Structures are given as C-alpha cells and as structure tokens.
A = this chain, B = another copy of it.
Amino acid sequence: MHTQIQILPVTGIGDIRPGDDLGRLIYDALKQQQLTLQQGDVLIITQKIVSKAEGRLVHLDDIEPSPFALQYAQRYQKDAQHVEVVLRESKRIVRMDHGVMICESHHGFICANAGVDESNIGGERVLALLPEDSDRSARQVRQRMQELTGEGEHLDFAVIISDTWGRPWRNGQVNMAIGVAGMEPVTDYRGQNDPYGYELRASMIGVADELAAAAELVMGKVDRIPVALIRGYTYKTGQGSGRDLIRESATDMFR
C-alpha cells in the first residue's frame, strides 16, 4: 500500500540573525507546533535563513565596484555595488544579456546572479550570499537536531537546503535543492524494468529537487515560512551531496 505524503509548514521561526542556532530554532518551532521529528522525515530549509544564521551577508556600502561592474551597471541602470557582489560570487558568467546575469557560482551552481539575493533581508542595502557549503550547513542542522532529540544518529532523517531559481525555457521560478544531508538526492532507475518489462534507460529522478519544489508550496514568498517538513516519502538514505545534482559540463549542452 502506498502511503500519502504530507507537506507541513513549520511556523513560528522568527527573524534570524548571524550566529543563531538554526537547529535549535527549528527544533523549538516543531515542538511549538506539537510536531516530533520522525524517522524518514525530510526537512527543507530555505537558503536565506541559513545564509543569515551563517552571517553570509554583505553590506553594499563596503563594496568597491570594479570598472566592469560600473559600466555594466550604468548600461542597465543597476546598482554597481550589487553587480560587483554578483561578479565576486561567480566563477564564470554563463550568459549576460537583457540586463540579466546567469552565473556559475564558485560552488558550481548555475543560476541568476550567482544566487545573490536582496529580498527578505530586512536591512537596506544588504545582500545575502549563498551558504559557503550548503551540504555542510545541512549536516550541521541535522546533527544539531539529532542531538536535541536525544536520539543522536539513531534518528535518521534528511535535510535539504533550498533556493528558488528560474529556468531556461520555462516561466516561473521553482525551488531547488542546493545542499543535502542524510539522503541521496538523485534516484537511479536505470537497469530496472517498467511494469511491461521494458528496461528503463534514462531515468534518473532529481528527487531532492522535487522535494524542494513540494516544500515551496507551503512556504510562499510573502509568508514567513522558511522551513517545511515532508513526511511519508521513502528516500534513499546515504551521504549524498547537493553537488550530485550538478550536471557535469561534458554532458551539458547549455553551458
């Protein structure tokens, strides 16, 4: 029998400040909601509160824009200091047109503005950068929460750090997984047979991205719901990484 999956918003997580103990805050918020973390749960956390807790914030007034940033900003009526931050977070510019910068971040993620974001920061002229290592962030929250439950490693659940990105060819941004702990983010059906005995050739499913997308449905942009809990999904446990979701350049035709 196939069980249902539940997507639960985790409410009551207030403003996050650099140095905050995110694991503790989420643990307390769950408790407040009378939710107890269970074996097999998946906790999805938006990048923004992770970046805030880790102090990954940049004050634009501290930034000296390069000549390149200055001329690009002038051409598209943008903030040169903001452009400079995006450039510094980028390993490579994938496309730069119509005033849009699609960048490859130092982590290898390809997205607009290298993931540098300016909404929901709560300060003027402050930008949030992506976490330095979102897998590490996911692992830290996971370990901290395992500790707080008193069950330690016996409580096997997964953590996903997510961000909301646009895509080529399609309108609308969707939530995606950038950091992972406790699960394999890609399910590989290759070699298995479909119900008709046909061997599935090219079926690798980006389940962590699908979990992140599902979580966004309870988060919303204008609500204060930075965390969601997904219960009832059977993922493959393991030491997966958000990097498993990054396509190798050799097989990528759109770099």
List residues of A whose CB falls within 8 A of some B CB. 2, 4-9, 11, 95, 97-98, 100, 102, 110, 118-122, 164, 166-176, 185-187, 189, 192-196, 198, 200-211, 213-214, 216-218, 221-225, 233, 244-247, 251-255
> A211 CA to B4 CA in the complex, in Å?
15
A108: min CB distance to chain B, Å = 9
The reply to whether B247 and A222 form a contact with Cβ atoms under 8 Å apart is no
Contact partners of A97 in chain B: CB under 8 A: 253
Taking a contact as CB atoms under 8 Å apart, the answer to whether A254 and B254 are in contact is: yes
- Whether B254 and A169, one on each chain, are in contact in the complex, defined by CB atoms closer than 8 angstroms, is yes
A233 to B245, CA, bound (A): 27
Tell me the bound Cα distance from A225 to B214 in angstroms.
18
Q: Which of B206, B224, B233 has a CB less than 8 Å from the CB of A195?
A: B224
Bound together, the chains give a CA A244 to CA B172 distance in angstroms of: 9
Oligomeric state, in number of copies? 2
The residues of B that contact A252 with a CB separation of less than 8 Å are 168-169
Residues of B within 8 A of A245 (CB): 170-172
Judging by beta carbons under 8 Å apart, are B210 and A122 in contact?
A: no
Contact partner, A196, options B2, B5, B120, Cβ 8 Å: B120
On chain B, the residues within 8 Å of A166 by CB distance are 202
A170 near B246 with CB under 8 A, answer yes
Say yes or no: B7 contacts A2, CB within 8 Å: no
Selected contact of A218 from candidates B5, B110, B204, CB within 8 Å:
B5
